[in-house]
Structure 1
């Protein structure tokens, strides 16, 4: 049996040309990197449900309005994950660390001055938002 493609969802929250990123903690895949809030789609869960659940579980933020922003092709270096990014245009709450083993901090960072140590699963989603491209092919 061959490898399987996994589906991840990521929440994109923008504020004044800044994007919300979390510093991945010691129990997270690729600790010490900065990534978007998100995770896996669970069985019997839709994409919107998954991104809203992950956002609330990780940051305490409740998504009120969101739209599909991008889809990325799976990449070998992302553990064969296809990422689906949703732009959360309306929400309530402020980001806080809810899962300290998985996230050390949440910060809004300038889109034009992002850290070099971005989480590999978020790189293409962030690039698609910055470049206003809805689909990124794995080149």
Structure 2
């Protein structure tokens, strides 16, 4: 039986309708493309706990589990991952790049004007969020 791997992604939108994005660097996966604050959910860790940890580690922001909600899920049809997307009503701290060895740019982009070099399933998830769509799937050609 295949055990799915779970990854949590943060859809962090400010009052100007901008989303925080990071350009991947030196990771071996989609380097040079923009993604979100994200990471794997570790064994024994809840989805919200993983997102809180990743937000602190990658962007130096503090999230509250009470202000967090799952806004989307995208299971991959070609590998063992299920990608969850969470949003928050508020956070503490100013976002800053805490992992320059894995991310060479962090900035806010308007939801309607994402960079061309956005990871395809991230673009799909952000589009789903904007459209109020909770679920979609990734095909091999989409990754």
Q: Does 1:6 align with 2:8?
A: no
Match of 2:73 in 1: 71
1:119–1:137 CA distance, 2 compared to 1 (3 A): closer
Gaps of 5+ in 1: none
- After TM superposition, give the deviation of residue 55 of structure 1 in Å: 1.0
User: What's the TM-score once normalised by structure 2's chain length?
Assistant: 0.86
What RMSD in Å do the two structures reach over aligned CA positions?
1.8
Task: Return the alpha-carbon distance in structure 1 between the equivalents of residues 3 and 138 of structure 2.
Answer: 16
Query: Which 4+ stretches in 1 moved above 4 angstroms?
Result: none
Query: Contact 1:8 / 1:41 at 8 angstroms: preserved in 2?
Result: yes
Task: Return the alpha-carbon distance in structure 1 between the equivalents of residues 31 and 80 of structure 2.
Answer: 18
1:138–1:132 CA distance, 2 compared to 1 (3 A): same
Which residues of 2 match residues 1-139 of structure 1 at below 5 A?
4-15=3-14, 16-64=16-64, 65-76=67-78, 79-138=79-138
> Which structure is higher in strand share?
1
Query: Contact 2:121 / 2:138 at 8 angstroms: preserved in 1?
Result: no
SS in structure 1 at match of 2:49: helix
User: What's the TM-score once normalised by structure 1's chain length?
Assistant: 0.88
Q: How many residues align?
A: 136
Gaps of 5+ in 2: none
Task: Return the alpha-carbon distance in structure 1 between the equivalents of residues 95 and 72 of structure 2.
Answer: 23
1:132–1:37 CA distance, 2 compared to 1 (3 A): same
